[in-house]
Structure 1
């Protein structure tokens, strides 16, 4: 990496561009948690004598808008880029950052092919999609689900997830059925027609996903069907606010350890105070981003070795992943507890 020379001077402020979805159609709730983690990390770094300044830009889940922000931030002389939640946006940012030779530490996007080929300037904290979603498929199979339906919106991210699930299920004798609709009423009929025992929502629009949950759970014929949301929608308070107890018992992927580190416990308390609600794994990814950036910007991603909120962070070259990758963050399949939807319970880990 080739950061600007100013951070090397004693007392210099490290200017960092932060890319976050803060307006629709971006997942605003995830963006708010990501930014809270980034900002808390910056404040904690300043107390330790490392001055970092964030220049925040809203990507609104728009790749073109994000690339324009990268160019703007480069013109302002930032030393590095951090953030982003949406994989399609992060892929566009990674390509532009690599072309400019600007370090980019992606906080939360999981698409395996974050870049078209090997990249020197791009690193990622979140696990590759193939790792987390394969674990999700194992969870379903071990729970006895051999015929799994997916209701998916069109995007590179959802298509990649569908492929990962199909391959993992098939390797262990399972079958994936890709439904032709995301219409809330039609989904139920398709589940019955195909004899699926589980439905996965590969949907980025919270309202569409919530409407399908309500329709399936209101249909007595589908009372035994498991609903899952591997991308993590039930992690956020907005899910609970929209669906109430109906949003519980829906397994999803989250990137947290079984037991938090001492740092994780402290940061969790601070994030809760900042957000006014339980912090999601995305907020912890934001905080860890600042730790990892401060630990490796001047020496290169391969030199990072820091204690994060969810474990020790080191970047490596991983087969099939073109960027520097933390190999690997903890992964859980969790759900909101049907008895107390404000609480989570872990169902599966890896």
Structure 2
């Protein structure tokens, strides 16, 4: 059952130097219990897409067009009061910087208990027990003691785990996770990934995992949406996108991941840099960095279905290789 539908979402930042189209015509859908990986380089529009979904884009940014249908209701047209009722209970966001979530002058128990009581009427003792269980679930030892601590008494990784625990308190319908495991060690990262996967399977929570780390998302997400310069340029089943990328940018991201079989060899890299959103190139936005670009790429390609369940925004996709690999696997 579809929980979220994003249709032609556009979020622009109106600056003195011009209009930066951080999100430009993004569309995707998400079913209950499904995990979507939103990947791309820094500046591709991943985080702004996440902020746009729950109305957290501050001026000079503004959602200028499109629809965000959450359980049938359009969040673009919703008022702030409606969004406040949804945030934390039905939609939760885990920020990359935990200090955006935690108040430095309040104890952890105060912040977590207030989050519980804001959406669920219960005694403070019952709320405290829920908070204790949430901290334990994300690998925080001695949760009773940690509840009475202040954020500055935690390491960066511990603060992030607290922020993740807060997002899990109400088992929301949708979690938007903006690179939440960046500050965590590998062991805790694996524990967090296992916990969110179990939550999605158990309660039908849908998850948007925003990251640049393909290694993490390849074992977590059901589907991938690859972003570049504010647009989705490829989408499909995670295993298929990783094994048979269609877009040259997607292939460049995958090739740049360090692999043991290339030990000692120079790392592959995508030439050039992401373009300024104020001065985007004509036609395909990846054209100046693309090894397959030609004159046909001066026209902006549409996001088209090139294989069953596979869509890409490219004039010269790696279609032949994908079709051969697909035929060999059948």
TM-score for the superposition, normalised by structure 2: 0.31
More strand by share: 2
More helix by share: 1
